[in-house]
Structure 1
Amino acid sequence: MARGRAADGRSSYEILRDRVHGRRRVLDLGCGDGLLLELLAGSESDEREVAGVDLSPAELELARRRPLLADAALLEARAQDLPFTDGSFDACVSHMALMLMSDVEQVAAEVARVLRPGGVLAVALGGGAVGGEAYELFLRLLRPVVEAVPPGQRIPTLGDRRTRDRDGLDAVLGPAGFMPVGWDTVRIDLSGSIEQVWETVSGLYDLGPLDARTIGTLRARFAAEARTEARSDGTIACAMKAHIATSRLR
């Protein structure tokens, strides 16, 4: 996702960064390898403090290697049980992670607890494929492959579908004390070579149970079909929609 760009030239990470401009203490839920936190740490004065939580020790270790995050609190923790005191942050961000979380009411309650009154919540949520492009092609090819996996071996459906649309997210956040969400949908262009696009789309969790041979076959089919739609320079069109939702704690 880091190389993807919206129409204004920003990545979805940069869009989130800009939504919390001027906020001194910022928490990232599902911070992964720290890319968003690094953008946050480098975009304000030295007074900005950032923190992140994630379930993956390996990803957190990568985040700790980023020089700008040397002093950041990077903790292995669940968003449903945040290891911070009440009112610790001025803003909270989450990039493509909230939509994968269970017990989202508890997540909302915890975020409300660690935010100060008036604190900002800004999240990026997946909005699906753009029709007629390579991501849609990939999903079409992937579906029967995943359905062929024995049910007990498939990745279970992740997250709460209410986080995928504005009304549903309001229903989750409102009881925790958040104002109605602002909602923007942007097209993120992920076009590139077949190899670049494959690297992006094949990061879906659904590929987890697939063996190397099955993934290789899927990759070959994807490359063959995508190649027929290649542009004159050899790149292929690929895009996804991202919802950018923002709210404030009352």
Structure 2
Amino acid sequence: MTAAENYLRDYHDRKPDAMSVLIESGRVTGDGRTSYQVLADRVAPARNVLDLGCGDGALLAVFARNGAEKLAGMDLSEGQLALARKRPELAGADLRHGRAQELPFADAAFEAVVSHMAFMLMDDPETVAAEVARVLVPRGTFAIVVGGPDSTGATRVFLELARPLFREVPEERRATYTKERRTSERSGIDEVLAPAGFAPVSWEPYEIDLTASPETVWTLCCESFYSTDTLDEDQRTRLRSAFLAETERLRTADGRLPAGLSVNLAKTRLLT
């Protein structure tokens, strides 16, 4: 386990449902589906699916409800996997604790491999890509959702206010996760995947609409960025006060606060 992997494991052991609450609180702008549902629909009609960084199983549960027959998941966090194992839809799923760089599955075991907001955090992505290629059937699908650079509304305000505070955090307390940036960009993902035998990715940007009450948006913004967890009580109090004051002008007539989180869906196939 690398330092980044230890950090992510410990964070998600403490907050095992944080990501699924965030994603399932929002809907894709102009669409009405969650980001999980969009990813699952883009992979249809695959019936045999592996989720890398499966978390508490929210995405796999969507595949189960869509009729997938064989589901598997890998995650670093035992806390998240414990929640996944409690989902009735995943009673028959093969849920494993471990690293995506060392998949405990047979060659050509899956029609599709997916990852929602996790591939971009993985160390040594070339090894992950090689393992994904190994466990996919010929012409199998690899589809991932990664974070985008542009957030809107209150989410953008949150980041503008939070970044100076993140820089105040002592080095020993800062969030430690991969510094890999290629796997958040289209060209970088192609660079990582091509040696493993994948075609260039298709690229679908969209926004997750998190519009809600100001307090709900504040909570969702905090869960959107790992570095918020490193702030001390005084910093969080200052950030919350500034956030609620700065976003008051954005509130709608019914008191809701517009907020959007940008993501990109990359999809490719194994060429052989």
Scaled to the shorter chain, the TM-score interval is over 0.9
Partner of 1:240: 261
Partner of 2:222: 202
Q: Residues 131-188 of structure 1, C-alpha deviation per residue, up to 9 Å, x if partnerless?
A: 4x11110101111111011123211352521111111110000100111101111122
Which whole-Å CA distance do the structure 2 matches of 1:240 and 1:24 have between them? 29
Partner of 2:58: 35
Q: Unpaired segments of 5 or more residues in structure 2?
A: 1-22
1:38-117 aligned at under 5 Å gives the runs 38-44=61-67, 48-117=69-138
CA apart distance, 1:207: 1.8
Distance 1:159 1:115, change over 3 A: farther
Which whole-Å CA distance do the structure 1 matches of 2:180 and 2:155 have between them? 22
Distance 1:61 1:11, change over 3 A: same
Which whole-Å CA distance do the structure 2 matches of 1:88 and 1:113 have between them? 9
Partner of 1:217: 238
Kept after mapping to 2: 8 A contact 1:88/1:116: yes
Is 1:130 matched up with 2:142?
no
Q: TM-score, normalization: structure 2? A: 0.87
Query: How many residues were matched structurally?
Result: 247
Kept after mapping to 2: 8 A contact 1:99/1:159: no
Partner of 2:194: 174
Partner of 1:10: 33
Q: TM-score, normalization: structure 1? A: 0.95
Instruction: Tell me the secondary structure at the aligned position of residue 66 of structure 2.
Output: coil
Instruction: Tell me the secondary structure at the aligned position of residue 221 of structure 1.
Output: helix
Instruction: Tell me the secondary structure at the aligned position of residue 230 of structure 2.
Output: coil
Moved over 3 A (4+): none
Partner of 1:183: 203
Which whole-Å CA distance do the structure 2 matches of 1:3 and 1:76 have between them? 26
Q: Residues 23-63 of structure 1, C-alpha deviation per residue, up to 9 Å, x if partnerless?
A: 12100010111110000011016xx1111111111111111
Partner of 1:146: 166
Identity %: 47
